[in-house]
Amino acid sequence: MPSSRNTASDISATGARYLEAIYYIAHEGEAVRPSRLADWLGVSPPTVTGVVQRLRDQGLLEIRSDHSLVLAAPGMAAASSAVRRHRVVERWLTDEMGLDWAAADLEAGRISHAFSEELVDRILAKLGGPATCPHGNEIPGVQGLPRHLVNLSELPQGVIAPISRVSEVAEHEAPQLLSLLDHEGLRLGVDVEVIRSLGSQAVTVLRGSHRTALGLGAAQAVWVDLSRRVPAAARRGSEGP
């Protein structure tokens, strides 16, 4: 019978990495399959199979009939704890230590597992209780303001809204996108508008008068908050001639 009494301290570092990866992929709306997990973690499919079976036997995840993986309640708790540590450490590294997005993510992956829950809570309080990581992804256990998120490929034309989130998948698999966004000034809180060309697989993102072309995949990785949208005509009118 699978054990349901696992705590974070009972789970190996490898197991915790798998649970965290499943959490990230699932929260992007993807079905988590062993092949996807192998790509994410950079390991072989047989390696994934062995670890997944151990995690299932520990009662941390479920393997469904279509071979997709779903976190069980204990696995979700452990994954949420790992994600919380990672994202809080990221905020500390960017806000207090001055690291850029990519460097903070890399360093957090190296050191966050060594931070106790008590230390994470103290860092979070010291930072003023931010609700998201530097990329706008929610920190588990922190209640933030409600958001109505859509990605740039779905932002209606004629609407301006602030960038509120960059996909965790893009953060992990496309660090060059983070560099592009930073170079183009497309950071969290920046108001943007999109223009589409008929039949095109790209969008043009307007930041004021500055234009940036993004492919469809990149546009789908950047999310804006429609609850703070403004009609473009109203914004231009307020700016005067």
Domains in the chain: boundaries:
1-143, 149-239
Please state the rounded mean pLDDT for residues 48-71.
95
Decide if pLDDT at 85 tops 70.
yes
Q: What are the two backbone dihedrals, phi and then psi, of residue 231, each rounded to the nearest 5 degrees?
A: -60, 135
Question: Which has the minimum average pLDDT: 17-21, 61-65, 196-200, 214-218?
Answer: 196-200
Domain 149-239 bears CATH identifier 2.30.30.90: yes
Residue 45 and residue 84 in contact, taking contact as beta carbons nearer than 8 Å: no
Question: Which has the minimum average pLDDT: 8-12, 82-86, 161-165, 227-231?
Answer: 8-12
Percent of the chain with pLDDT strictly greater than 70:
91
Identify the pLDDT of residue 231: 76
Please state the rounded mean pLDDT for residues 169-196.
85
Identify the pLDDT of residue 202: 85
The whole model's pTM is what?
0.82
Torsion, Cα of 74, 79, 37, 26 (10° steps): 90
Decide if pLDDT at 112 tops 80.
yes
Q: Give 68's contacts (C-beta < 8 A, 6+ positions apart).
A: 31, 32, 33
Identify the pLDDT of residue 90: 94
Identify the pLDDT of residue 5: 42
Decide if pLDDT at 182 tops 90.
no
DSSP codes, 87-110? HHHHHHHHHTT---HHHHHHHHHH
Alpha helices, DSSP H, located in the chain? 13-27, 34-41, 45-57, 73-95, 101-111, 117-126, 168-173, 175-183, 216-219, 232-239
Domain 1-143 bears CATH identifier 2.60.40.790: no
> Is the pLDDT higher at 46 or at 182?
46
pLDDT band at 31 (very low <50, low <70, confident <90, very high): very high
Residue 60 and residue 75 in contact, taking contact as beta carbons nearer than 8 Å: yes
Identify the pLDDT of residue 3: 41
Identify the pLDDT of residue 24: 92
204 three-state secondary structure:
strand
Decide if pLDDT at 109 tops 70.
yes
Query: For the chain, what is the mean pLDDT?
Result: 87
Identify the pLDDT of residue 233: 63
Percent of the chain with pLDDT strictly greater than 90:
63
Q: How far apart are CA 132 and CA 136, in angstroms?
A: 5
Please state the rounded mean pLDDT for residues 154-167.
92
